C-alpha cells in the first residue's frame, strides 16, 4: 500500500484537506472540524500531515493533531510557493494549496516534527515582547536627544513607562523559565559558554528549538550562517550566506562578538582566519557558525561548555 500524505490549507474559518488517495474535504477550523478530521484520519492513517505556518491560525489544529499522535510537519509558505511554481502550478486556490502541500511533503520526503508546546509558545511570546520593548525604548531614547522642549516631557514619560515594562517583561520571563524544566536546562547549558548571557541564551532557545536535534550542516543552513556556492562552469563565485532566521542570527552575532574577546576558542579561531587574510565580516560569520555547531553539540550531548568540544562540533 502506498504511503498516504495529507495536505491541510488553514484559513480563519475553514480547513481544506487533500489526501494523496484523491479525497478532498472542507471542514470548519474549530473543535467539531478537528473531531471530523480525526475520524477521517483514523479511517485512512497518514504517513505525514503537512500544513503551512499561517501566523498562528494553524496552532490550535497542530496541538490537537499532536495530542492525537498524528505525524505532523509545519512548513515555510515561501518554500511551498516556490515548489508550486517549479511544478507549474501557477493557479492558487485553497484546494490547490492543500494539494500542493501534500505533494511537497511527498517530493521532499519530509519527516514529522513535534509542534511547539504551549509552555514553549508562552516563553517565545515573552521573549519576542521583550525584544519589541528594547527596540521601542531605543527609538524613544534617540528621539529624546532631538525632541523639542514642548514634547520632551512626553518622550521622557514614554521612556520611563517602557523601562518599567521591560523590567516587568524580564520578571515574567524569569518566572516562566523557572516553571519550564526543559528550557531551564537548555538555558543553563548555554550560559556556561563564555560570551553567552541569559538574554542571549533565552533568544537562542526560543527562536531555534531545533538546536541539538540536527547535524551541523542542517543547523547552520537553518539559521542562515552556512556559505552557499555561486559556481557555474569555469566561474567560481564568492560564497555568501542566505536566508535563515534573522532573530536567531542576531543573537548569535552578539554572542560571537563577545566571544571573540572572552572565549579562547573563538578568539584563536578569529585571529587565525584574519591572519590568513579573511575579511573581518567573513571571519565573524565563521565564528558564528563555529559557535552554533558547538552549542548544537552541547544540547545534543547535554553537556556544559568545554574547550575540547571544538574538535567534535
Is pLDDT of 287 > 90? Answer: yes
Please report which confidence band the pLDDT of residue 1 belongs to, taking 50, 70 and 90 as the band edges. Answer: very low
* Nearest-angstrom CA–CA distance, 313 and 309: 6
Work out the angle at residue 189's Cα, subtended by the Cα atoms of residues 270 and 202, and round it to the nearest 5 degrees: 85
Please report which confidence band the pLDDT of residue 311 belongs to, taking 50, 70 and 90 as the band edges. Answer: low
Q: What is the pLDDT of residues 98-114, one digit of tens each?
A: 999 999 999 998 888 87
* Nearest-angstrom CA–CA distance, 96 and 7: 10
* Nearest-angstrom CA–CA distance, 130 and 19: 41
User: What is the rounded average pLDDT for all residues in the chain?
Assistant: 88
Print the SS3 string covering the chain: CCCCEEEEEECCCEEEEEECCCCEEEEECCHHHHHHHHHHHHHCCCCEEEEECCCCCCHHHHHHHHHCCCCEEEECHHHHHHHHHHCCCCCCCHHHHHHHHHHHHHHHCCCCCCCCCHHHHHHHHHHHHHHHHHHHHHHHHHHHHHCCCCCHHHHHHHHHHHHHHHHHHHHHHHHHHHCCHHHHHHHHHHHCCCCCCHHHHHHHHHHCCCCCCCCHHHHHHHHCCCCECCEECCEECCCECCCCCHHHHHHHHHHHHHHHHHCHHHHHHHHHHHHCCCCHHHHHHHHHHHHHHHHHHHHHHCCCCCHHHHHCC
- The residue ranking higher by pLDDT, 270 or 60, is 270
- The residue ranking higher by pLDDT, 232 or 95, is 95
* Nearest-angstrom CA–CA distance, 173 and 126: 6
What per-residue confidence (pLDDT) applies to 161?
95
* Nearest-angstrom CA–CA distance, 166 and 127: 11
Average the pLDDT over 84-96 and give the result: 90
Q: What is the pLDDT of residues 160-211, one digit of tens each?
A: 999 999 999 988 888 877 777 667 888 899 999 998 988 899 889 888 888 9
Q: What is the pLDDT of residues 208-228, one digit of tens each?
A: 888 998 888 889 988 988 876
Query: Taking the CA of residue 292 as centre, how many other CA atoms within 13 Å lie in the half-sphere pointing to its CB?
Result: 32
What per-residue confidence (pLDDT) applies to 235?
67
Instruction: Report yes or no: 172 and 283 within 8 Å, Cβ to Cβ.
Output: no
Q: What is the pLDDT of residues 37-67, one digit of tens each?
A: 989 888 878 889 999 988 888 888 988 888 8
Q: What is the pLDDT of residues 240-253, one digit of tens each?
A: 766 778 889 999 99
In this prediction, what percent of the chain has a pLDDT beyond 70? 94
Amino acid at each position: 500500500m502506498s504511503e498516504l500524505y495529507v495536505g491541510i490549507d488553514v484559513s480563519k474559518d475553514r480547513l481544506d484537506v487533500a489526501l494523496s488517495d484523491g479525497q478532498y474535504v472542507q471542514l470548519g477550523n474549530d473543535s467539531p472540524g478537528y473531531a471530523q478530521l480525526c475520524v477521517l484520519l483514523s479511517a485512512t492513517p497518514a504517513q505525514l500531515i503537512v500544513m503551512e505556518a499561517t501566523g498562528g491560525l494553524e496552532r490550535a489544529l497542530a496541538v490537537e493533531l499532536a495530542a492525537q499522535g498524528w505525524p505532523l510537519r509545519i512548513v515555510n509558505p515561501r518554500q511551498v510557493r516556490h515548489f508550486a511554481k517549479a511544478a507549474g502550478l501557477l493557479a492558487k486556490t485553497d484546494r490547490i494549496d492543500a494539494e500542493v502541500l501534500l505533494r511537497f511533503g511527498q517530493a521532499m520526503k519530509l519527516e514529522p516534527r513535534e509542534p511547539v508546546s504551549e509552555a514553549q509558545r508562552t516563553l517565545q511570546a515573552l521573549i519576542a515582547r521583550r525584544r519589541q520593548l528594547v527596540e521601542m525604548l531605543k527609538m524613544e531614547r534617540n528621539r529624546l536627544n532631538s525632541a523639542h522642549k514642548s514634547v520632551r516631557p512626553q518622550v521622557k514619560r514614554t521612556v520611563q513607562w517602557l523601562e518599567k515594562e521591560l523590567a516587568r517583561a524580564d520578571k515574567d520571563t524569569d518566572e516562566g523559565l523557572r516553571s519550564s524544566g526543559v528550557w531551564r536546562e537548555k538555558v543553563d547549558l548555554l550560559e556556561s559558554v563564555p560570551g553567552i548571557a541569559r538574554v542571549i541564551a533565552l533568544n537562542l532557545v526560543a527562536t531555534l528549538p531545533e538546536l541539538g536535534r540536527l547535524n551541523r550542516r542542517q543547523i547552520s543552513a537553518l539559521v542562515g550562517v552556512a556559505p552557499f556556492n555561486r559556481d557555474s562552469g569555469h566561474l567560481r563565485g564568492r560564497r555568501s550566506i542566505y536566508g535563515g532566521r534573522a532573530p536567531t542570527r542576531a543573537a548569535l552575532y552578539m554572542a560571537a562578538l563577545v566571544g571573540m574577546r572572552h572565549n579562547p576558542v573563538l578568539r584563536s579561531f578569529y585571529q587565525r582566519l584574519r591572519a590568513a587574510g579573511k575579511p573581518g565580516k567573513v571571519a565573524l560569520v565563521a565564528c558564528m557558525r563555529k559557535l552554533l555547531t558547538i552549542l548544537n553539540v552541547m544540547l545534543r550531548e547535554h553537556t556544559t561548555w568545554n574547550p575540547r568540544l571544538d574538535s567534535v562540533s
